[in-house]
Amino acid sequence: MRISQLAERTDVPVHTLKYYLREGLLMPGVATSRTRAEYDEDHVRRVHLLRALVEHAGVGIDGARRVVAALEDPPGTRAELLGVAQRTVPATGGDAEVSDEVRELVADLGWTVEPDGPWMRSLTATVGAARAAGLHLEHRRLVEYAHAARDVAEVDLDLTEDAEDAAAAVRTVVLGTALLDPVLIALRRVAQEAVSRER
Amino acid sequence: MRISQLAERTDVPVHTLKYYLREGLLMPGVATSRTRAEYDEDHVRRVHLLRALVEHAGVGIDGARRVVAALEDPPGTRAELLGVAQRTVPATGGDAEVSDEVRELVADLGWTVEPDGPWMRSLTATVGAARAAGLHLEHRRLVEYAHAARDVAEVDLDLTEDAEDAAAAVRTVVLGTALLDPVLIALRRVAQEAVSRER
DNA sequence: CATGATGGAGAGTGGCACTATCCGATGTCA
DNA sequence: TGACATCGGATAGTGCCACTCTCCATCATG
């Protein structure tokens, strides 16, 4: 398939595909002449991946580049899969000191984690920002959210166990980490409406 | 407190505060002369709110304007609180048709919701994007995520019951809807690490 | 009275994800 | 065979957005 057909299949303008090619996000097609190249289903999937990452996950071009690199990299052990995935979509909110409350939270839950990892910092920052903005958020509520987050994480990890090989495992973890955030947010909104109607 | 002190307290440049004033996101201080105005703790809270919305919730200036409007608006009945909050931070992902799978999902869960609401569309779009990008996501997994989302929503709604008056209820719902998304994402990442270490 | 902060308005900046233009080479159809 | 569209490749431009800066007359303060 030619670039114009790839554009049609994916509903992405040719110019944008050229941009992705230039940025190294989309692998070149097989050149059939100096001005022609042939693209296949792998390219279609890649373009869909890029659109999902940019449009829904909001990771930007840089983040997408890291995701693509992670997918093409030999994975390493299953234990460090998550590390790769989490580094691929880095935490936001700066590198503030982890608060005592957050430390206690994970301790009370019995979680064993890197105490000063980026997501512990991100958690501190987001909780602090929500409180500073005037949201009354009790520690008890946070614990309940954490329980729900743990349930989600269990499913996340289950997903990786089904993977047939290392490549599939990487894809599942990396994509699951980035692409399911918006799914979970949408589910939360729909669930809010359902619970609200029940009461 | 003068604008420069407000800037110091909130760690936001004076120029940015002026920008917020111009955009109507920050209420004017009490003018003590033609070139002086006095700001107070309400202004500090408002600036923290704006920063949290823009930096952590990523709702942008327009979204922040809607949040501020919702906070200042008389609330209405408790039943429509959620509607206000959800309209304040609108769904992304276009207005695609809601898929049969998503319809069945909420039906199987026994949820009563607007069948073609914006978040049902958003859910369809994000699930579809994740699949198109190559993520193998079974319906069964989705159901498990939905259960967790429901748990979160229960806590969300509990939060509103504690509110003393209508104004506090609006603040809780609107801020909770927007500002807790990043908290939940961070919790998910930390929980992933904890579960991963256990296995 | 000198200095510097202030409010107010407009214009400028930087980052980002495209998007358009240009080019020469090459398919393709009449 | 010749007209014409399309292609890859490179450069430059666009639109959006959240600031950020400049300017200035006015005023507060030492």
pLDDT at B47: 93
To 10 degrees, what angle do helices B139-161 and B100-109 make? 60
Enumerate the residues of chain A whose CB falls inside 8 A of the CB of residue B53.
133
A56, A145, A196: residue with CB nearest B126:
A56
> For residue B36, which nucleotide's C1' is closest to its Cα?
C6
The per-residue pLDDT for range A135-177, each reduced to its tens digit, is 888 899 999 999 999 999 999 888 887 777 777 777 888 888 8
Residues A77-83 have a mean pLDDT of 72
Residue of B nearest to A92 (CA): B56
pLDDT at A79: 67
Torsion over CA: A62, B184, A193, B63 (sign):
negative
Long-range contacts of A98-105 (CB under 8 A, 24+ apart): A98/A123, A98/A124, A99/A124, A99/A127, A99/A128, A101/A127, A101/A139, A101/A142, A102/A127, A105/A139, A105/A142, A105/A143, A105/A146
The number of residues making up chain B comes to: 199
pLDDT at A149: 96
What Rg do the C-alpha atoms of chain B give, in angstroms? 20
Strand D nucleotides with an atom less than 7 Å from a protein beta carbon: 6-11, 17-22, 25-28
| Nearby residues of B69 by Cβ (< 8 Å), 6 or more positions away | none
pLDDT at A42: 87
Residues A58-71 have a mean pLDDT of 87
Closest CA to A151 of B35, B36, B117, B149: B149
Q: What's the Å distance between residue A38 CA and nucleotide C28 C1'?
A: 17
Pairwise pLDDT comparison (A97 vs B72), residue with the higher score: A97
Closest CA to B164 of B36, B48, B78: B78
pLDDT at B76: 67
Report the distance separating Cα A26 and Cα A14, nearest Å.
12
CA distance readout (Å), B24 to B28, B51, B61, B84: 8, 15, 10, 20
Distance from CA of B21 to the nearest CA of A (A): 17
Q: What's the Å distance between residue A33 CA and nucleotide D1 C1'?
A: 22
Q: Write the single-letter amino acid at A15.
A: H
A56, A112, A136: residue with CB nearest B172:
A136
Beta bridge pairs of residue A38: A30
Q: Is the pLDDT of residue B28 over 80?
A: yes
Does B175 contact A130 at a Cβ distance shorter than 8 Å? yes
pLDDT at B75: 62
Q: Is the pLDDT of residue B164 over 80?
A: no
Residues A41-62 have a mean pLDDT of 89
pLDDT at A163: 72
B135, B151, B197: residue with CB nearest A176:
B135
pLDDT at B111: 95
**Is B155:A144 a contact under the CB 8 Å cutoff?**
yes
pLDDT at A103: 94
Does B187 contact A146 at a Cβ distance shorter than 8 Å? yes
Percent of chain A with pLDDT over 70: 96
pLDDT at B190: 94
Least confident of A41-45, A146-150, B167-171: B167-171
Residue of B nearest to A42 (CA): B134
- Report DSSP state, residue A79: G
Distance from CA of A78 to the nearest CA of B (A): 10
pLDDT at B112: 92
Closest CA to A188 of B177, B75, B142: B177
Q: What's the Å distance between residue B34 CA and nucleotide C10 C1'?
A: 20
- C-beta neighbour count of A37 within 10 angstroms: 17
pLDDT at A148: 96
The per-residue pLDDT for range A4-41, each reduced to its tens digit, is 888 888 889 899 999 999 888 998 888 787 778 888 88
Per the structure block, which two tokens stand in for A195? 């619970």
- Report DSSP state, residue B56: I
CA distance readout (Å), B140 to A78, A155, A170, B143: 23, 10, 21, 5
Percent of chain A with pLDDT over 90: 36
Report the distance separating Cα B84 and Cα B155, nearest Å.
18
Does B150 contact A86 at a Cβ distance shorter than 8 Å? no
The per-residue pLDDT for range B82-110, each reduced to its tens digit, is 777 787 777 777 778 899 999 999 999 99
Percent of chain B with pLDDT over 90: 39
The per-residue pLDDT for range B103-151, each reduced to its tens digit, is 999 999 999 999 998 899 999 999 998 998 888 888 999 999 999 999 9
Residues near chain D (nucleic strand), Cβ < 7 A?
A: A 2-5, 14, 18, 21-22, 28-29, 31, 35-37; B 13, 15-16, 18-19, 32-36, 54, 60-62
pLDDT at A126: 92
**Is A186:B119 a contact under the CB 8 Å cutoff?**
yes
Does A56 contact B198 at a Cβ distance shorter than 8 Å? no
Report the distance separating Cα A72 and Cα A15, nearest Å.
25
DSSP three-state, residue B37:
strand
Residue of A nearest to B49 (CA): A133
- C-beta neighbour count of A44 within 10 angstroms: 16
Report the distance separating Cα B9 and Cα B13, nearest Å.
10
Q: Is the pLDDT of residue A187 over 90?
A: yes
A52, A151, A195: residue with CB nearest B133:
A52
Strand C nucleotides with an atom less than 7 Å from a protein beta carbon: 5-10, 16-21, 24-27
pLDDT at B177: 87
Residue of A nearest to B185 (CA): A181
Q: What's the Å distance between residue A55 CA and nucleotide C28 C1'?
A: 37
Residue with tokens 């929503």: B153
Q: Is B94 left (phi over 0), alpha (psi -120 to 50) or beta?
A: left
Instruction: List, in order of start, the domains of chain B with CATH numbers.
Output: 1-56 (1.10.1660.10), 77-198 (no CATH)
**Is A126:B56 a contact under the CB 8 Å cutoff?**
yes
